[in-house]
Structure 1
Amino acid sequence: MRNYLFASGLFGAITSGIALLRGTRDAPITWRAVLAWLSWGITIALAIGAIVDFRRDERGETVSFDSPVAPVQFKRAKKALKAEQKAQKRS
């Protein structure tokens, strides 16, 4: 988890969770508070999912098409295919 801990998505989710905890600590539980916590949970899940995708990319595994890493992997695969075709033409 090298640089992932300080990634802006995870850092933002953690700090917003702290702020949400401080804001709802003494307040009664309302539907707004429930929605705020639900939103925070989704944000944390997305940040962790992005970290998992970055880790998979580092290992050379494919990621889902809706991942923020997918366009980078696609470009890399396209470039590798082009290089392979060029090498075959030379042979």
Structure 2
Amino acid sequence: MRNYLFASGLFSAITSGIALLRGTRDAPITWRAVLAWLSWGITIVLAVGAIVDYRRDERGESVSYDSPVAPVQFKRAKKELKAELKAQRKADKA
């Protein structure tokens, strides 16, 4: 699992969930509490999604365009294409 726990924000989401649990444990269920839990759930899903995208990137798989890893993959692909074209031009001259 390497550094996913700290790098992806999952640690922050878990600690905020613990704080939310402590804060709402004895309180009545209100619409604000429901929204707070919904917000926490969305945060967890986004953190897990980032972990999945990092894993896909490590394996060389493509990620969705709206992923935080997508710009890095785009830059890497552009750099690789440029190197390929340079090598091809060099081979054509020889």
Q: TM-score range by the shorter chain?
A: over 0.9
Q: TM-score, normalised by structure 1?
A: 0.97
Equivalent in the alignment of 1:71: 71
Name the aligned partner's letter for residue 25 of structure 2: R
Q: Structure 1 pair 89/8, CA: closer, same or farther in 2 (3 Å)? A: closer
Greater gyration radius? 2
Equivalent in the alignment of 1:55: 55
**Number of equivalences:** 91
Gapped regions of structure 1 (runs ≥ 5): none
Equivalent residues of 2:56, 2:63 under 8 A apart: yes
Matched, 1:41 2:41: yes
Equivalent in the alignment of 2:30: 30
The ranges of structure 1 where at least 4 consecutive aligned residues each deviate by more than 4 angstroms after the TM superposition are none
Q: Deviations over 1:25-70 (max 9, x none)?
A: 0000000000000000000000000000000000000000000000
Offset of 1:9 from its aligned partner?
1.1
Gapped regions of structure 2 (runs ≥ 5): none
Q: Measure, in 2, the Cα distance between the counterparts of 1:60 and 1:2.
A: 17
Q: Measure, in 1, the Cα distance between the counterparts of 2:38 and 2:5.
A: 22
